[in-house]
Amino acid sequence: MNKKLFLIAVVLGAFGTMGCLSPILTHAESKNAAQPATTRDSKSLADCDVTFKTQGLCASMDWINYPKEGELGAFKLRFWQAGKGNANGPYFEPNLPVFVRLWMPSMGHGSSPVTLTPALDSNGLVMPGVYDVTQVYFVMRGNWEIQIQLKDAEKSKIVEQTSFLLRY
């Protein structure tokens, strides 16, 4: 009986780690590591990394510190109105609360919550539509989604969501 339980545990453990054997990206490879999960299907959205179609918004992310195994990462998240700007500005503050979630679809789980704070300019003033996302930690190797969510005023229902895809 103990041999049978041991064998089951070994097999389940092997299947559980198979999706997590992807190599870790180095910092040098990370500049373009996060790829948009949405497609560009409109002229006004052509310059968007990812889109929030019902809100008419685009978003982009740039790594400040790409997470390495056992280390936290950070990135800058920027929003602008489709057709009225690009990743360099002018930026636009979404009308709904913004959330970021790290999700590993193949394993059906996420990671520790990230910290999302409004970014400040060199004078210490809030930059509308620009956020610092810190405490980015991927618990294992594999394919991840960095989900950007706009939620209702009560912050309980997702109104719109898009994702950057990442192989960690």
Note whether 152 and 99 are within 8 A (CB).
Answer: no
Least confident of 9-13, 70-74, 126-130, 139-143: 9-13
- Give residue 70's pLDDT: 82
- Between 68 and 57, the more confident residue is 57
- 63 has pLDDT over 60: yes
Per-residue b/e over 4-38, b at no fewer than 16 CB within 10 Å?
Answer: eeeeeeeeeeeeeeeeeeeeebeeeebeebbebbb
80 vs 51: CA distance, rounded Å: 10
Mean pLDDT for 20-44 is 36
- Give residue 68's pLDDT: 86
Domains of the chain with bracketed CATH: 23-167 (2.60.40)
149 vs 98: CA distance, rounded Å: 6
- Between 126 and 37, the more confident residue is 126
Mean pLDDT for 18-47 is 38
- Between 58 and 43, the more confident residue is 58
78 vs 56: CA distance, rounded Å: 14
What values do phi and psi take at 9, rounded to 5? -65, -40
- Between 53 and 35, the more confident residue is 53
Mean pLDDT for 15-26 is 35
- What does the pLDDT look like over 81-120, one tens digit per residue? 999 989 999 999 999 999 999 999 989 888 889 999 999 9
- Give residue 102's pLDDT: 95
Three-state DSSP class for residue 98? strand
Q: Tell the burial category of 151 from Cβ atoms under 10 Å away from its Cβ (0-12, 13-18, 19+).
A: middle
Instruction: Tell me what percent of the chain is helix, strand and coil, each rounded to the nearest 5.
Output: 15, 40, 45
- Cα–Cα separations (whole angstroms), residue 141 to 14, 23, 62, 90, 120: 14, 7, 20, 35, 32
61 vs 76: CA distance, rounded Å: 5
> pTM for this one?
0.73
- Give residue 110's pLDDT: 86
